[in-house]
Amino acid sequence: MTNQNLIKYIYGIADNALILGQRISELCGHGPTLETDIAMTNIALDLLGQTRSYYQYIAELSKEDITEDDVAFLRKEREYLNVLLVEQPNTDFAHVITRQYFFDEFHFRFLEQLQESQNVNLQAIAKKSIKEVAYHRQFSRDWVKRLGDGTEVSHEKIQLAVSNLWPYTNELFMTTNDDVAAINSNHGIDVSGLKNDYFNQVAEVLNEATLKIPDLDFFQKGGKKGIHTEHMGFILSDLQYMQRTYPNMKW
Amino acid sequence: MKKNWPLWEVFVRSKNGLEHRHFGSLHAADADMALKNARDVYTRRSEGVSIWVVESKNIKASNPEHNGEMFEPAADKAYRHPTFYDLPDDVEHM
């Protein structure tokens, strides 16, 4: 494994947390109730905190003289390696919760394994993050059940969200060339091994929430290779605005 | 107002505290949600290690109009405070 492999492998992890964190941050002050608003903002902050740890490590690994801010704010769209799921819009609360749940169920399993990584930095980040993510999963799982098994309207809305977001689940378990290099050197973990358990668990929760699993065999992919949906550019223009407009600006 | 979730009172025990103290109130559909909301709203700066929630309607409160007969009679009973005893020198930490 080269240094470049490892950096790109870490981007594949960290960019998910950055973009999902950014997406949820958009909701700050707009949550359906004060309590859920604060809860979602807490989750966004957790994710951005995790992102910082990964990016600081990337800056350390890089041969160039860069900081975590350069990594977060100054890359081009094709250089972000997050999955398509996390960039999907905040259509409504049902979509926000479903996107979160689909990601959390993956994220928890992923971090569980990453704790076993031979890479001590990744291992340490995973150990710190997994408690946060255990709570995220509890929160989103709970809301999937509440909305699914709630009123007629809430059921209809979250069923639509499940149908719309389902095609983005499969990409979570795909591996890139950099992933393979990281796995072979025991730094990375093989996400394809998490797939069966993930879909079994999701099926169980959706079933309890009286929701139907879409009957689909076509799945979206591309994010892990830097090929994003049309939403990504808008996210980045928001995210990068300050650094692009006032280069090297500091708080 | 009918469409609002019911109100809950939140009690939090801090790391060094021995008892749960009233922290505030919030809205939630049921006890589970109230507990999660309390965690998110009141313990995000490490304020606590234990949370109790109770639906506000289950609290019976004294009526402020009755404060006269409820509380004023105690005001001139200074002898109810244990301040009229000479403490032996050997008793420490009093």
Of A35, A138, A139, nearest to B26 by CB-CB distance is A35
| Residue B87 covered by a domain | no
Q: Tell whether B44 is within 8 A of chain A (Cβ).
A: yes
Owning domain of residue B30 = 7-80
| CB within 8 Å: A138 and B36 | yes
Please state the domain count of chain B.
1
User: Is 90 exceeded by the pLDDT of residue A233?
Assistant: yes
Task: Identify the band that residue B2 occupies on the pLDDT scale cut at 50, 70 and 90.
Answer: low
| Residue B42 covered by a domain | yes
pTM: 0.90
| Residue B47 covered by a domain | yes
Q: A40 to chain B: nearest residue by CA?
A: B40
What pLDDT digit, counting tens, does each position of B16-25 carry?
878 999 999 9
Contacts with B39 from chain A: Cβ below 8 Å: 135
For the four alpha carbons of A201, A205, A208 and A211, in that order, the dihedral sign comes to negative
d(CA A143, CA B78): 55
Best A24, A35, A100, A145 member to test B by mutation, with max B CBs in 10 Å, is: A35
User: Is 50 exceeded by the pLDDT of residue B1?
Assistant: no
Complex ipTM above 0.85? no
* Domains of chain A: residue spans and CATH: 3-211+221-245 (1.20.1260.10)
d(CA A94, CA A144): 8
CA Rg value for chain A: 18
Q: List CB contacts of A160: < 8 A, sequence separation 6 or more.
A: A94
CATH of the domain at B53: 3.10.20.520
What pLDDT digit, counting tens, does each position of A57-107 carry?
999 999 999 999 999 999 999 999 999 999 999 999 999 999 999 999 999
What pLDDT digit, counting tens, does each position of A144-189 carry?
999 999 999 999 999 999 999 999 999 999 999 999 999 999 999 9
Q: List CB contacts of A227: < 8 A, sequence separation 6 or more.
A: A78
Q: DSSP for A81-125?
A: ---GGGGS---SHHHHHHHHHHHHHHHHHHHHHHTT-S-HHHHHH
A71: β partners:
none
What pLDDT digit, counting tens, does each position of A126-156 carry?
999 999 999 999 999 999 999 999 999 999 9
What pLDDT digit, counting tens, does each position of A19-37 carry?
999 999 999 999 889 999 9
| Residue B90 covered by a domain | no
| Residue B35 covered by a domain | yes
Q: Tell whether A138 is within 8 A of chain B (Cβ).
A: yes
